[in-house]
Amino acid sequence: MRTPNLTRYAWLSLAAAIATIALKTVAFLVTGSVGLLSDAIESIVNLVGAVMALSMLTVASRPADEDHSYGHSKAEYFSSGVEGTLILIAAISIGVAAARRLLAPQPLEQVGVGVAVSVMASAVNLAVAMVLARAGRRYDSITLEANAQHLLTDVWTSAGVIVGVVAVAATDWLPLDPIVALLVAANILWTGTRIVRRSILGLMDTALPVEELAAVRAALDSHLSDGIEYHALRTRQSGARRFVSFHVLVPGTWTVHRGHELLEDVEAQIRAAVPNVTVFTHLESLDDPTSWDDQYLDRSEPHTPSREAGGRRP
């Protein structure tokens, strides 16, 4: 299946970031709230993340070539990893600014105007986040999902900041503003950590989720009654693309044609059960002892086949 070009969603995120930066900067300038300043700083991170997303989605949409025979989909992990790191940096910056303001509180001004502008910016972020989240789920794009999560975090952050600003105006207790900003920083830190962790797992060729791996095994297990076995089942995910490889062992009396028909059937079942999957199969003979020597990545190391490792005992 042709990889869809998702850059239009990155352009939407870019436009939203520019709009919210302008709105939140105005809100900060008219109120002097460090909480609203934290909101504006995070929107700058949104802008940088959107630029990175645009770049990496452009790369990921390229078809496979001689130098990248498995495609370019893994480029998405670089985008989400960079955005997650930027979120962490923003959280630290917000925390430092809030700590300084906590030691030296300052009165807020024109709270009503600042809150109104911040609400407008949050509405923009919420609308764009919903679009990106839906597209991320539809196209299985970690870049769009990370962008959406960041924008949603921004929405909740803004809600918390607005509550803090209104509370300060109502109580005249100035430390409330930096305290809310510190809570905002903690929330952003948690989101950034999750995004970075998921990106690292993707770059490390982590196996498919449990439910998808179960679907692969179910397709293979449905043929065990035909007298075949399988082993060396390995899976990984690269962006939206999944990769599955395994060895199928058939009776030595089978013809190559019969074995090939079996593999075609199994591969079709897996492609029907798991989206965006590329399947690699290898046909072996049940009657050849050497068929059991290559269940692991390194054949030179002695191992005992196990069902947990995708192996079958002879």
41 near 93, Cβ under 8 Å? yes
- CA-based max dimension of the chain: 87
Residue 295 structure tokens: 């269940």
Residue 271's pLDDT band, with cuts at 50, 70 and 90, is: very high
Measure Cα distances from 79 to 44, 202, 214 in Å: 16, 12, 29
- Those residues whose C-beta lies under 8 Å from the C-beta of residue 113, and which sit 6 or more positions away, are 27, 30, 31
Q: Which residues pair with 280 in a beta bridge?
A: 245
Residue 302 pLDDT level (bands cut at 50, 70, 90)? low
Highest mean pLDDT among 42-51, 108-117, 162-171, 254-263: 254-263
DSSP letters for 146-168: HHHHHHHHHHHHHHHHHHHHHHH
Does 279 have pLDDT greater than 90? yes
Which pLDDT score, from 0 to 100, does residue 1 have? Answer: 44
Give me the mean pLDDT over the 221-239 stretch.
Answer: 88
Residue 8 has φ and ψ, to the nearest 5°, of -60, -30
- DSSP string of 191-214? HHHHHHHHHHHHHTTPPPPHHHHH
More confident residue, 237 or 45: 237
127: pLDDT strictly greater than 50: yes
* Mean pLDDT value across the chain: 80
* pLDDT for res 309: 41
Residue 307: pLDDT band with limits 50, 70, 90:
very low
Residue 279 identity: V
Give the model confidence (pLDDT) of 135-185 as tens digits. 888 888 888 888 887 787 778 777 776 777 677 777 778 777 778 778 877
Ordered domains of the chain (ranges, CATH) = 7-203 (1.20.1510.10), 210-292 (3.30.70.1350)
Give the residue with greater pLDDT, 2 vs 255: 255
Residue 2 has pLDDT above 50, yes or no: no
pTM, two decimals, is 0.65
pLDDT of residue 128: 92
pLDDT at 99: 81
Task: Kindly report the number of other CB atoms within 10 A of residue 249's CB atom.
Answer: 22
Whole-number percent of the chain with pLDDT over 70: 86
Mean pLDDT along residues 67-88: 80
How far apart CA 289 and CA 42 sit, in angstroms, is 60
Residues 161/35, Cβ–Cβ less than 8 Å: yes
